[in-house]
Chain A
Amino acid sequence: MSAVTRPVPNGASGSAPGSAPSSALLEVTDLTVEFRTPGGPVRAVDRLSYRVEAGRTLAIVGESGSGKSVSSLAVLGLLPDTARVTHGSVRLAGTDLLGLSRKEHRARCGDQVAMVFQDALAALNPVHTVGYQLTEALRGRRGMSRADARKRAVELLDLVKVPNARARVKEYPHQFSGGMRQRVMIASALAMDPDVLIADEPTTALDVTVQAQVLRLLAEIQAERQMGLVLITHDLGVVAGVADDVTVMYAGTAVEQAPVAPVYTTPAHPYTRALLRSIPSASGAGRLSVIPGRPPSPGAMPAGCPFHPRCDAVRDVCRTDVPPAAVPAEDRMSACHFAADIMAGREPAPDDKDTGGHDD
C-alpha cells in the first residue's frame, strides 16, 4: 500500500492490511534529492516515500516543478551530475539501490525497472531504425544475436499493437505518428521484461483519442504481466481512470497519499481539494475555481507548510510549522495540520484572535 509513509521494515512483512498478499516491488523511503546551484543546494525532492506493488498502478500527480520527474530519475540512477540523493533509500526487491555503485545501480534497474518518457520523438534516436533501438538492450546485455533480436523486435511491436510490425521494424522514428512512437517507447521499455514500469507523462503530448488508446494499452499490458506501474502525470482525469493508489506532490513533498477513490471523494489535503475544484468540468458554467498564486520556487520555500501561501484554509500554525504526515484514516496520509478536518469537509477551527500579531 503506497499510502504508508513511515519506513516499513522491508519486504512483505510491512504490507498494509487492505492490500492482499502482494509485497512491494519497489519501495522508496524518505528520498531527498538536492541540486547544486550557485546559490547553494536546492531541495527538489523532500522525504518522498512510496511503494509499488505487483499488478498495481501508483499515480504520482503534481504540477511542473513538484519533483515528480526528478524523483523517478533518482530511482533509476539517471540524475544529472548537479543533483544528488542526500537521504533515503530506494529498495528494489529488497536491495537498496542507492547503496550500490552507479554502475551496479543502473545494471539492476536495466533488468527490472524501465521508463517510458514523455516526448517519444526526443527519446528515440532518429538515425537508427526502430527495430535496432527496441533490441539494443537485448543485444548489449543479453548477447542476443541479430536475427533473434529482429524477431523479438517484431514480437514487441505486435505486443503494443503497432500494425504491420514486420515491415515497420525497419522504419525510422520520424516515419511513425505520435501515438505509434509512444507505443514504440513502451515496447522498448518492455524489452527487458521489467517488474516495474515508470511512465513519465506518457500521454501528455498525444491527442485525446490516441491518449485513450495508449492508456488502455498500458493498463492491459500491466494487468497481463502483473507489472508495477508508476504513472507520473498532471492530469487528474487520467489518474482516476487507471490508478489504484495516488501520491500528490507539491513543491517536492508528498502532500497526500491514498487509494484512488477517496482522493476524489474526500481529499484530505487542501491542495488536492483545490486541484480537483480547478478542473474545468463538463457541466461548464460558472466561474472556474482557481488556486491563487503559483508554486514556490525550490530555492525560496516559504516557512511552515509549503502550500500555505496559496491555501484557502490557512491558519497561523501553517505559517510557522511544517506539517507532520498525518494519518486521518487507514491507508491515508496527508501532510496538513488539519488533515482530519479537510477530509471530513470541515473548515479548520479559526485562530484565536488574541494571538493575531504575527501574520506578516
Chain B
Amino acid sequence: MTEPGPVLEVRDLVKHYPVRNGLLRRSVDAVKAVDGVSLRLDRGRTLGLVGESGSGKSTLARVLVGIEKPTSGQVLVDGEDVLHLSMAGRKQLRRDVQMVFQDPYTSLNPRMSVNEIVGEPFAIHGIDPAGGRRAAVDELLELVGLDPDHANRYPHQFSGGQRQRVGIARALALRPKILVCDEPVSALDVSVQGQVINLLEDLQAELGLSYLFVAHDLGVVRHIAHEVAVMYLGRIVEQGPDADVYDAAQHPYTQALLSAVPVPDPSVRLVAKGAPVIASDRAGVPTGSTGDVGPTNGASPTGAGPSRAVGAIVLEGDPPSPVDPPSGCPFHTRCWLAPTLSEAPPEPSAGGPSTGGPGTGLRLVPTVCETEVPALVARRAGGAPGAPGSTPADAAAHVVACHFARELVAHRVES
C-alpha cells in the first residue's frame, strides 16, 4: 500500500440549501444540510459515516464528488483545495474521486449495455486505455467478479448484487484514489450484501483505495470501516477509530443509535413478556418528552454496553428539521441524558413527578446544552476505558461533541 497520510481532508464544510418563498422567490431561510463538518480520510483506509436520514451524510458525499457545490469550507484531495479549481482541474478531480450509488436499479441507464456503462467514463474523459476500451471494460468486469461475456447485456438482465458490481466497475474505470460509497448495500438482500462488502474490501487491499462509506446500517459500517463519524443534523457529534466508537461510545446520540440496532439474539427482547406494557402508558406522550426514557435507562444503557442493551434507550420523536435546528447542542431536544443531569434545573411546578415531566411536556436540560454548541473534543482524560490500549498515538483521536460526555464515561467506568 502507499504511504500514509490524508488523501482527503474536509475543513469546516457547510452546505445550505436556500428555502425560497413568496412571489419573488426570495430566500427566506436555509436547510442547513451540512453545517460545519471536518473530516480526514487516510490513504488506504475506510471512513464510515453514519447517521439517520436527514443528518446530511448523503449531501456531504455529494459535495465531495462535486455533484453539489458547498456554501463554504474546504475540500482537499491530496492536499489540493478542489473547490477553486478550473474546469480542467475539476475534471481531474472527478477522476480521482468516484462514487458508488445506493440504488443499483436507478443508477444504471437501462438503455445502455454494461459494456457502454462501464466504458462511459473513458469516453467522457477522452481516455483510450492501453489495449483498447473493450479490453479495459472486460478487465474491470473481471475485477468485480462479473463474466466479461455478459458485457453486451443490459442492466435488467442482472440481479441487484450484480448491478451493484457494475456500478462499482464503472466507478473504478478511471483508477480513482477515493471511492465515495453512498449506502452501497442497503438496497440488497442480506445474503448478497456480504458479497458486495467483501468485494469492496478485496478491491481496497488490491488497489489501495480509500473509501468514504456512507450508511445507516451500523453493523455494516462496523465491519468495513477503520474510523467512524456519527452525524446528527448536519454536524459530526462523535468520531474516532471504529472500536472506540462502537465499544465506548461517548455521545448520548451514538449510544442511543447503537442501542436501537436490533441484534440477532433472541435473549434480548424488545418488550419483555409478562410485563409487556412499559412505563409510558400515558396516552399521547408528547414528542421530545423524555417519557419512559429517564427511568428505564437509569442504569441499563451503560450496564451491558450499548451494543447489547437493545431497546434500552429508545429516543422519542424524530430528528428536528434542519431548516430550524435547535439552539445550542443540536441533540438536546431528544437527548436522554441531559434531563437526568444534576445541572438540569429542577422541575418548577409542585406536585409533578421529580424525574422529567411527561405530563407537562416540558423538558428541562442544562442551560449550557440549550445555548452553547458543544465542540468536538477528545474526552479520554479522566479514567477512560482501557479497552484498546494498543491504539497508536498517530491514529485519529476519539472526539465527541457533548458538554457532558464525562458523565457517560463515568457511568461506564463504574459499571
A to B CB contacts below 8 Å, 8 in the list: A163-B317, A164-B286, A207-B53, A212-B315, A213-B314, A240-B268, A241-B263, A278-B193
Q: Check B271 against A279 for contact (C-beta < 8 Å).
A: no
Contacts of A239 in B (CB 8 A): 264
Contact residues, A191-224 vs B (CB, 8 A): 207-213, 215-216, 219-220, 223-224
Verify if A242 is at the interface (C-beta below 8 Å from B): yes
Task: Flag if B278 contacts A287 (CB, 8 Å).
Answer: no
Interface of A is mostly: helix
- A238 at interface, CB cutoff 8 A: yes
Residues of chain B from 159 to 204 with CB closer than 8 A to chain A in the complex = 159, 161-162, 189-195, 197-198, 201
Q: Are A219 and B270 neighbours in the complex by a CB distance under 8 Å?
A: yes
* Interface flags, A214-250, vs B, CB<8A=1, else 0: 0110011001100000000011111111110000000
What is the minimal beta-carbon distance from B227 to any residue of chain A, in angstroms? 13
A282 to B247, CA, bound (A): 9
The smallest C-beta distance from B217 to any residue of chain A, in angstroms, reads 8
Determine if A223 and B271 form an interchain contact, defined as CB atoms under 8 angstroms apart: yes
The contact string, 1 if C-beta is below 8 Å from chain A, for chain B 292-334, is 0000000000000001001100111110000000000000000
Which of B3-11, B146-154, B218-226 forms part of the interface with chain A? B218-226
Let me know if B315 and A209 touch, CB within 8 A: yes
Chain A residue, CB-CB nearest to B187: A64
* Additional pairs, 9, CB under 8 Å, beyond known A158-B284, A219-B271, A236-B264: A63-B189, A63-B190, A163-B285, A208-B260, A208-B262, A213-B314, A213-B316, A280-B220, A284-B222
Q: Assess whether A241 is in contact with B242, with CB atoms less than 8 Å apart.
A: no
B: which residues have CB within 8 A of A?
52-53, 159, 161-162, 189-195, 197-198, 201, 216-220, 222-224, 242-243, 246, 256-257, 259-271, 273, 276-278, 283-287, 307, 310-311, 314-318
Q: What CA separation (Å) do A180 and B319 show in the bound complex?
A: 12
Minimum Cβ distance to chain A for residue B319 (Å): 8
Stretch with Cβ within 8 A of B (4 or more), from A32-40, A144-152, A289-297 = A289-297
Q: Which residues of A contact B159 (CB under 8 A)?
A: 294
Measured between alpha carbons, how far is A291 from B263 in the docked complex, in Å? Answer: 20
Number of chain A residues close to chain B: CB under 8 A: 59
- Cα separation A215 to B52 with both chains bound (whole Å): 17
- B64 shortest CB reach to chain A, Å: 22
Known: A179-B318, A216-B270, A220-B277. A209 touches B52 (CB 8 A): yes
Q: Is A276 located at the chain interface by the 8 A CB criterion?
A: yes
Quick one: closest A residue to B256, CB to CB?
A209
Residues of A within 8 A of B (CB): 63-64, 158-159, 161-165, 177-180, 207-213, 215-216, 219-220, 223-224, 234-243, 260-261, 263-264, 274-276, 278-282, 284-285, 287-292, 294-295, 310
Structural contact, B310 and A241, CB atoms closer than 8 A: yes
Once the chains bind, are B52 and A212 in contact (CB under 8 Å)? no
Q: How far is the CA of A128 from the CA of B191 in the complex (A)?
A: 40
Q: Determine the distance from Cα of A263 to Cα of B307 in the docked complex, in whole angstroms.
A: 21
Q: Are A207 and B219 in contact (CB under 8 A)?
A: no
For the complex, what is the distance from the CA of A289 to the CA of B311, rounded to whole Å? 27
User: Taking A64-B189, A219-B271, A275-B190 as contacts, is the C-beta distance between A208 and B277 under 8 angstroms?
Assistant: no
Contact of B271 among A207, A220, A236, A290 (CB under 8 A): A220
